[in-house]
Amino acid sequence: MIPDTPEELHVLAGEYVLGVLEPDAAREVAGALAQNAALSRAVRFWEERLHPLSGLASPAEPPAGMWQRIESGIDGAAKPGWWNALWLWRAVAVAATAVAACLALYIAFAPPAAGPSYVAVLHAPQGQQPAFVATASPRGLLVHAVASETAPSDRGFELWAIPPGAKPISLGMMRDDGRLELGTLPPAISPGTTLAITLEPKTGAPHPAPSSAPVFLGTLVPAK
């Protein structure tokens, strides 16, 4: 039971930070931190204020090979991000049928291009309404809006390529008219690559990684 009076909440948070709670009680506190802002503030208060006491433990040399162990631990654990999120890929799967229908129409009317070309229809993760269409060929990549989607004034749409199993790679900010043209084809572009658009600050692009979940996305498929 997480108490709701400030005094009891502070005592519980202090006992949690000290580490005196029995395992079940400690797990209950740890589990409640994400939802309970007051508890989380109280825990942070104690962590910060009691921190100098940790200086009473004498520093000690970690065992040899420790850094290598950490590196292998890192290599075994993927750095989490929204592109690993299950809901996102479920949403992509749900929308696949609608996308296929749009693509068929688009391919029928699109001009022929030399060499292999790929197309993608980008739509909101939970929606099926196309917002952007992307065409890629050896001549480059063109993404343009097919609906009147606008970004909030302080931010812009940034386009990302996400090759299967890889991290997002920024392709740059979309222009205000909803277009983005690249004269050469980025190496990350191939069938199966997901194109995603996120809302990002207008300055500093290309950003090293997206700061939020995509507002539109779609997967490139061969056009013929």
Alpha helix segments (H runs only) across the chain: 6-18, 23-32, 37-50, 66-76, 86-109
Q: How far is the CB of 103 from other proteins (least distance, A)?
A: 27
Contacts of 26 (CB under 8 A, 6+ apart): 16, 19
Cα separation, 182 vs 200, in Å, equals: 19
Choose which of 3, 31, 48, 84 interacts with other proteins (CB under 8 A).
48
Residue 51: DSSP 8-state: G
Identify residues 179-218 at the interface with other proteins (CB under 8 A): 187-188, 206, 208-209
Identify residues 133-172 at the interface with other proteins (CB under 8 A): 167, 169-170
The mark string for 79-118 relative to other proteins (x by CB under 8 A, - otherwise) is: xx--------------------------------------
Cα separation, 85 vs 20, in Å, equals: 36
Residues 206, 185, 158, CA angle at the centre, nearest 5°? 25
Judged by beta carbon, residue 11 or residue 105, the one nearer other proteins is 11
Number of amino acids touching other proteins (CB under 8 A) = 50
Residues that bind other proteins (CB under 8 A): 7, 10-11, 14-15, 17-23, 26, 44-45, 47-63, 66-67, 69-71, 73-74, 77, 79-80, 167, 169-170, 187-188, 206, 208-209
